[in-house]
Amino acid sequence: MAVKSSDKKAAEQKSGGSLKPADYEKIGRSIESVVIHGHYSKRRLFLFNTLRGLFFGLGSAIGATVIVVVIVWLLNVFSEIPLIGDLFESARTTVQEVNSTP
């Protein structure tokens, strides 16, 4: 029983085979065809990408703020330990100085 080439490709993709440059070109042509032939509204595409960018930027800003808050909180907690408190105290003041400058 011979195995079809399409079956081989499907098995290779399921097994984690990497995509070849020709595969990327085929995917690109398919996406381009969808946009050019009007299967997907250009206005809707623009709106979707704009909102995606806004939410990505907002999420990045919120994530960075949370990380800085957690770092400052940890530095405040560890600054009361006798042996390493001075080291954490100097790191905490440095982080606060960097965050307070515009």
63: pLDDT strictly greater than 50: yes
Indicate the pLDDT class of residue 32, thresholds 50, 70 and 90: confident
Residue 90 domain boundaries = 20-100
Cα 7–Cα 8–Cα 10 angle in degrees, nearest 5: 65
| Domain annotation covers residue 49 | yes
| Cα dihedral sign, 89-91-92-94 | positive
What pLDDT score does 53 carry?
95
Q: How many structural domains does the chain have?
A: 1
| Domain annotation covers residue 13 | no
Q: For residue 88, how many other CB atoms are within 10 A of its CB?
A: 17
What pLDDT score does 67 carry?
93
Cα→Cα distances 92→45, 75, 83, 101, 102, Å? 45, 6, 16, 15, 18
- Tell the residue number behind the tokens 């009007």, with chain if given: 38
What pLDDT score does 65 carry?
94
Rounded to two decimals, what is the model's pTM? 0.45
What pLDDT score does 8 carry?
55
| Domain annotation covers residue 44 | yes
8 A C-beta contact, residue 92 and residue 75: yes
> For the residues 8-36, what does the mean pLDDT come to?
75
| Domain annotation covers residue 3 | no
